[in-house]
A = this chain, B = another copy of it.
Amino acid sequence: MIQEDALERARALLIRRYSALTPLENADHALFTRLGPPEPVARGREIAIEGMPIRSPRFLVSGWACRFRLLGDGRRKIVSFLLPGDAIGICGRARPLALCSAAALTECLLLNGSPAFDDIWDDAQAHPNMVEALRLAGALDEKLLLDHIVRLGRQTALERMSHLLLELHWRLSQVGLANDWAFRLPLTQELLADGTGLSVVHVNRTLQQLRKAKLIDWRQQTCIILDPEGLRGLGEFAPPRLSEWV
């Protein structure tokens, strides 16, 4: 059954993602078989609403989403992009109010994490590695937020774009969604603008600049980083030192 097949791939992806953070055991792998029913979300649909209680912990297993905030006059800022393998609404047993909204940018598939998390919080001793992996995932999220702040506060358009592309590539490669330096980037320039704090027009020009400089190639939702070193020189993106994060 295609449904089963998708679920199997989702589990493999989650295991890959969290194993990269800290080695997991069979007991941990088993957690991923205990995920709730898959929930497909259509593009544009909201996944969370700022100020409303978080529903339940979920894993994004396919598609792209984002967390965002709106200002009174309609200006929008994308706070972070959510990629396959990312968790949504993990905060122990608590169900606090969402700090920002989240929405699907493409067709998405979510898995309810409640059963697994009930197991984990019921007996944290039984899953020390999984608890550690979740802690590291949280630290990684924070690192990305800090990167984002530096990007917005002190980098030029060209640098921001380079940095963001390198970040996205690194994250996708962690879950096997990058072929070498090529990856699917299903974002419109408007979304990139809201992500980088630029205007659409300027995003367009910045991308053209990167293309003309032969640093990247981007056609039909596929981005290829042609010159990783060159791009790094601009963006100063440093992947997290996972192996040393204890």
Residue positions of A touching B, CB distance < 8 A? 51, 53, 69, 71-72, 75-77, 79, 91-92, 94-97, 99-100, 132, 135-136, 139, 142-143, 145-146, 148-150, 152-155, 194, 196-197, 236, 241, 244-246
Q: How far is the CB of A108 from chain B (nearest CB, A)?
A: 21
* Of B51, B72, B79, B236, the contact of A149 (CB 8 Å cutoff): B79
Complex-state Cα separation, A71 to B97, whole angstroms:
34
Given A72-B236, A154-B71, A149–B77 Cβ distance below 8 Å? yes
* Of B71, B99, B148, B197, the contact of A143 (CB 8 Å cutoff): B99
Q: List 5 A-B contacts (CB under 8 A).
A: A75-B154, A77-B149, A99-B143, A145-B145, A145-B149
- On whether the beta carbons of B71 and A135 are closer than 8 Å, the reply is no
Q: How far is the CB of A158 from chain B (nearest CB, A)?
A: 14
- On whether the beta carbons of A92 and B152 are closer than 8 Å, the reply is no
- On whether the beta carbons of B241 and A51 are closer than 8 Å, the reply is yes
Nearest to A100 among chain B residues (CB) is: B146
Which B residues touch A92, using CB under 8 A? 135
* Of B53, B77, B94, the contact of A150 (CB 8 Å cutoff): B77
Which B residues touch A236, using CB under 8 A? 71-72
* Of B132, B136, B145, B153, the contact of A77 (CB 8 Å cutoff): B153
Complex-state Cα separation, A196 to B69, whole angstroms:
18
- On whether the beta carbons of A96 and B154 are closer than 8 Å, the reply is no
- On whether the beta carbons of B79 and A245 are closer than 8 Å, the reply is no
- On whether the beta carbons of A142 and B99 are closer than 8 Å, the reply is yes
* Of B146, B194, B197, the contact of A99 (CB 8 Å cutoff): B146
Q: How far is the CB of A76 from chain B (nearest CB, A)?
A: 7
